[in-house]
Every structure is written in C-alpha cells, then in structure tokens.
Amino acid sequence: MSAPAIQAVELSRRFGAFTAVDRVSFEVEQGEIFGYLGANGAGKSTTIRMLIGLLAPSGGRATVAGHDVATAPDAVKASIGYMSQKFSLYLDLPVSENLRFFGAAYGLEGKALAARTAELLERVGLTGQGEAITGELPGGLRQRLALASALLHRPPLVFLDEPTAGVDPVARRTFWSLIRELAAGGTTVFVTTHYLDEAEYCRRIGLMVDGKLVALDTPAGLKRTWVPDQVLVARGQGLARAAEALRRLPGVKAVSPFGAALHVRVDPARLDAARVAAALAAAGAVAPAVEATPASLEDVFLAAVDRGAGGVAP
C-alpha cells in the first residue's frame, strides 16, 4: 500500500484562549476524494490552512505529500493545489493573465505554460474565455477558473475549500464531475463543503464539531453509526403543532423540521409509519402522510451536532 497523501496526528491550533482545531487525527489515501464537513466556525478552514502550510500548527503534526507541514511548508506548497473559500484570483485581470501569473509562480513558462493553459481551459470548459475579464464572469465559471489555476502545475493533491458555494445546482454537478475526473486520474482531493448532497460523492467523510473530529467514515458507514434508527418523513398540515406531542411519544428519538415536512427518527422495534401517523393525527395534524425514507447525511449531521450539544448518543 502506498504512503498516505495526508497524515494528521493530534493536529491542533489555538488562537489565544480559543482552540479552533483540537487534536485532530486522520489519514487520507492517494487518489481518494476526502470530504470534510462541519458547521461554520467548526474548524475546517483552519485545518486546511495548516495542511497547506499557510498556518503553523500549535500542536501535533501533519505530513502532506510526504513533507512535514511545520518544517517544510515550502515543499508542501509546491506539491499541492489550493482553491480558497473566497474567490482569490485577480478580478481585474483577464482569465489568461491570471493563469499565466500563477503558472509562472509555479515555474511554468513559455510554450509549456501556454500549452498547459489552453489544455486546462478546455478541461474546465472555459475555452475561448481567455480574454474575458475575471470579475465579469458568472460565479460558476469563476469557480472553474479557480480550479484550473490550482491544477496548473499538476499537483498530486488538491485542497478545495467550499468550491461550490453560491453556485447553481447544474453548475455544481458539472463541477463535481470535474472533481471525479481528477480523482480518477490519481489526484487526491481534499474538499470541504456545506452541501451534504455533494458529500455523498466522497469516498470518506470527516465531520468536525467545535474543533474536534467527531466522525470519520464512508457515507454509508456514517449513516449506520449515527442514524441506526429508521427515519420517517411526515408530510401534511399543522405538523409544527403536532411535533411537540410527537417528541413525547416513547420510541421517538428525534423530530426535526425538514422544509415543510418532519423527519422523525424512531426505534423500528417500537414504532412504524402507521403508528406515527396516528399519533400525529391525534395531536391535531391534518391528513398526515408518513413513510420511510433513507437516512441522509443531513440526519447524520444533525445527530452529530445534537450529540455535541448534549443530545442523545447513538
């Protein structure tokens, strides 16, 4: 088995009295798409910045692409590509100039640079946009440009921090197909995201709550561990009123609003859809319709956060 692309051991970062990242340990294999989830402020971006050599760890250590982030940050930087959360290319320059600058920064020049630029523009679907001013591109195209910029020097490992934030669903899907192509080609992808549906694309997911890594597994594994109960979805009118009463029903683990519907986690040994529907009707809901639904990462997330806030452990 080849060496892991990323290896973090008890990685920590403190800012004064505040601990942003608390003894995080994990490994990412080469060629893997590794997802990193968590609420805002949970410590995802800080972790990334330590891994790419922008921020020195307060404790623990990490090895990225074979280099130690604390002692050889420059070697780390040369081996990785990075796409930051806030768009960070030059808005006033045309697309080609941005690529040319960052390419030169990584040591590309002349014909090689020109060829690579053209190749990447095509790969991300921006052919012909070379002279467009970056700031005038729509959000989705801008994100693709940022991705291209991170790939100029063919790094074995890329870090993508919320790469699809603020982008429409179609564009998001296109973007993820690019990511999957990358990984298929052997590039390791470390991605953080808010969109839990996207997280399903990852081979493994790490979940951060308040600076700690509380879960690390494949999506299916996470669901098995965190949401072992059945999840039912209830639709109808007046559900909000009925929810409170439902919570008190024995066998109900949690009731969470999901849009206009309710997600109800139940112990399958004690309750089923019909019973829950009856309970809702008795509590004043109108025409409740309850059916089983596969557990989603959203449920996992809520359960994990819940546990962090003192909720019920699985």
Partner 1 sequence: MSAATARRQLAAVFRKEVSQTVRDRRVMFLLVVAPLIQTVVFGFAVDFDVDRVDTVLVDHDGGEAGRLHARRLLADGTLRPAGRLAGVEEAQADLDGGRAAAALVLPPGFSADLAAGRPAVAQLLLDGGDPNRAAVAGAAASRYFGEVAEAEARRRLEARGRRDLPQAVLVPHVLYNPRLKTPPYIVPGIAGTLLVIVTTLVTAMGLAREREMGTLEQVMVTPIRPLWLLLGKLLPYLIVGCLDVLLLLGVGTWVFGVPLHGSPLVLGAVMLTYLTATLGIGLLISTVSQTQQQAFLGGFLFMMPSILLSGVMTPIAAMPAWLQHLTVLNPVRHFAEVMRAVLLRGAGLGDVWFQLACLATIGVGILWLAAVRFRRQLG
Residues making contact with partner 1 (CB under 8 A): 52-56, 73-74, 77-78, 80, 82, 84, 86-93, 97, 100-102, 104-107, 109, 149
CA distances to 9, 70, 187, 205, 266 from 174, in Å: 34, 36, 18, 21, 36
Q: What is the nearest approach in angstroms of partner 1 to the Cβ of residue 92? A: 6
For partner 1, the closer of residues 54 and 305 by Cβ is 54
For partner 1, the closer of residues 52 and 295 by Cβ is 52
CA distance 56 to 149: 24
CB 62 within 8 A of CB 9: yes
CB 134 within 8 A of CB 95: yes
Which sign does the torsion angle of CA 220, 226, 230, 232 carry? Answer: negative
For partner 1, the closer of residues 90 and 244 by Cβ is 90
Kind and range of the H or E run holding 9: strand 6-15
Q: What is the nearest approach in angstroms of partner 1 to the Cβ of residue 141? A: 17
For partner 1, the closer of residues 86 and 310 by Cβ is 86
Q: What is the nearest approach in angstroms of partner 1 to the Cβ of residue 8? A: 17
Per-residue tokens: 89: 């290319």
Tell me how many degrees the CA angle 10-204-69 measures, rounded to the nearest 5.
35
Q: What is the nearest approach in angstroms of partner 1 to the Cβ of residue 118? A: 19
Q: Please spell the DSSP secondary structure of 43-108, one letter per residue.
A: SHHHHHHHHTTSS--SEEEEEETTEETTT-HHHHHHHEEEE-SS--S-TTSBHHHHHHHHHHHTT-
For partner 1, the closer of residues 84 and 164 by Cβ is 84
For partner 1, the closer of residues 182 and 280 by Cβ is 182
Q: What is the nearest approach in angstroms of partner 1 to the Cβ of residue 204? A: 24
Q: What is the nearest approach in angstroms of partner 1 to the Cβ of residue 135? A: 10
For partner 1, the closer of residues 91 and 312 by Cβ is 91
Q: What is the nearest approach in angstroms of partner 1 to the Cβ of residue 104? A: 4
Q: What is the DSSP letter of 133?
A: B
Among 71, 65, 61, 54, smallest CA distance to 26 is for 61
